[in-house]
Structure formats: structure tokens, C-alpha cells
A and B are shown apart, each in its own frame.
Chain A
Amino acid sequence: MLRDTPDRLPQDVRPMSNARLGILVLLGAEMMLFSGLIGAFLVFRMGNVTWPPPSHIDIQLPRAVTGINTALLLLSGYTMFQALRAIQKDRVKQLRNWLLLTGALGVLFLGVQGSEWAQLIRSGMTLQSGVYGGIFYVLLGCHAVHVIGAVIWLFIVLGMAVSGRFAASRHIGVETCAIYWIFVVALWPILYVLVYLA
């Protein structure tokens, strides 16, 4: 009787694990959160004839550096995909290396973002300095919090990979982490185009 339950079946013949379904539902909630924030941004962006508003007209967002940072984050999406492929082929050592590289790229992204924010705050653009600063920090800050969460999760998965907890037949922990990471990575170019280029 137990042999027929989905959890007892090999991973490639199971319809869908609870963990994968759970992460999809979580991502649905995350998408609603970000769509609300992007909706608020659209109201402010299109509701103002000039953008940035006259009070922030002298503030220049670092488009070029953020563009390079975007490329780094997209690269981390590729390395995460490679990590997932490695464990699907039972290559645990490659999994560790790809995860480590992904984590390093994530930390680098956060570091560059942090230094940009410090410069913007020094130049007078703060959370309280008006609609422009407010929506900028809330929207991108919310994404940064998600990247921090994803980096922490990734290093937990890396620790589990080092202790030999994953194999080709048992890697749902890597898979859920990869789905979340790719969501966070895929969201960033949309925010970059909206906030920095539009």
C-alpha cells in the first residue's frame, strides 16, 4: 500500500511534490506583493508630469553601475541553474561550487546596491525626502530584503550540500531554493527598467 504513495515513487515519476507546490504558492503571494508596489510606483510615475519630480531633479541615479550589477545578478541565475543541473546528474562537488559562486554573486549584488544607496542618501535622497525617494527605497528595499533572504537560504542549502544531504534522487531542497532564487533574479530587470530607465 505504501509503495503506491507519491513520496515513495522515484522523483521523476512523482506528479508534484508538496514542497514544489508550496514554493509556487509562496511565489504567487510574492508576485502579488510586488505587483502592489509596482502599481503604486506607476501611479506616482505617471501621475507626475516630470520624473524625477522638481524637488529631486538634480539627483542622478547610477544607471551604468546598476546595469552592470543587473548583469551580475542575471549571471547568478545562470549559475544557480547550473547548480540544479549538477545535482540532477548526481555531481555533488559541482553543486557545491556552483552554489558558492551563486552566493558570492548575490552578496556582491547586495554590496554594490548598498554602496549606491549610501551615495544617494549622502546626496540628499532619503526615504522621507518625498514621493520619489519613498517609492525608490520601498520598492528596491523590498527586493533587497528578498535577495538577503534568498542568500541566507542558499548558504543553508550549501551547508546541507557540504554535509552530503543531497543526491540525484533527493534534491528538493536545492530545487525549491533555485526556484526562489530565479524568481528574485527575474524580478530585478523589471524593477531596474521601471525605476532607473523609464
Chain B
Amino acid sequence: MRFIFWGTVLMLVVLIAPTCVEACPACKDLKEPIGRGFNSSIFFMMAMPFTIVALIGGSVFYHYRRASKNRDRMGSS
């Protein structure tokens, strides 16, 4: 019960006052150029794993579909 209470309090603090719990001192102030630099870099690198998974997954899916169609065509002829 106590865990749920303090967990809820902590979550509210995080949601209401996010600047109090910022972990990274470098990207705290986005008005500073270095903050903007870190911010752009983090977003870019964060997007990359999703891009890679989408590319590899898309490629595998495309090749399986193409092979399946070719097999069907060979079977019908």
C-alpha cells in the first residue's frame, strides 16, 4: 500500500514538474546551442534502431511475398 502511495506521488511529480527530475544536465536548456545539439543527436540516434528494424523487416517481408508468388506461379503452370 505504501509502495503504491509513494509510487503515485513520484509519478505525479514526474508528470507535473518534469524539470525537477531531468537526468541530463547538458540538454536541460534548449535555448543553448549545445542543448539543441544534444537534443537533435539523441532524437536522430533514437530513431535509427526503428528505421533499421523497419528496413530489415520490410525487406524480409518483401522477399517472402515475392518467393511465395513465384512458387504459386510455378505450381499453377
Chains A and B belong together in one complex = yes
**Is A45's CB within 8 Å of the partner chain B?**
yes
Do most interface residues of chain A lie in helix, strand or loop, or is the interface mixed? Answer: helix
Q: Answer whether A47 and B37 are a contact pair too, CB < 8 Å, given A13-B70, A16-B63, A38-B44.
A: yes
Number of A-B contacts (CB under 8 A): 65
Give A24's nearest chain B residue, CB to CB: B56
Bound Cα distance from A24 to B62, whole angstroms: 13
- How many of chain A's residues touch chain B, expressed as a range? 20 to 34
Q: Are A47 and B33 closer than 8 Å at their CB atoms?
A: yes
Q: Are A39 and B67 closer than 8 Å at their CB atoms?
A: no
Q: Which residues of B contact A45 (CB under 8 A)?
A: 37
**Is A188's CB within 8 Å of the partner chain B?**
no
Q: Answer whether A16 and B40 are a contact pair too, CB < 8 Å, given A28-B52, A46-B33.
A: no
Give B69's nearest chain A residue, CB to CB: A13
**Is A81's CB within 8 Å of the partner chain B?**
no
Bound Cα distance from A25 to B55, whole angstroms: 10
> A13 to nearest B CB, angstroms?
4
User: Which residues of chain B in 27-77 are interfacial with respect to chain A, using CB atoms and an 8 Å cutoff?
Assistant: 33-34, 36-38, 40-42, 44-45, 48-49, 51-52, 55-56, 59-60, 63-64, 67-68, 70-71, 74
Q: Are B52 and A46 closer than 8 Å at their CB atoms?
A: no
Bound Cα distance from A12 to B74, whole angstroms: 10
Q: Which residues of A contact B60 (CB under 8 A)?
A: 16, 21, 24
Q: Which residues of B contact A21 (CB under 8 A)?
A: 60
Bound Cα distance from A43 to B37, whole angstroms: 4
Q: Which residues of A contact B (CB under 8 A)?
A: 12-16, 20-21, 24-25, 28, 31-32, 35-36, 38-40, 42-49
In addition to A15-B64, A28-B52, A42-B37, 17 A-B residue pairs with Cβ atoms within 8 Å of each other are A15-B63, A16-B63, A20-B63, A31-B48, A35-B44, A35-B45, A38-B44, A39-B42, A39-B44, A39-B45, A43-B37, A46-B33, A46-B37, A46-B40, A46-B41, A47-B33, A47-B37
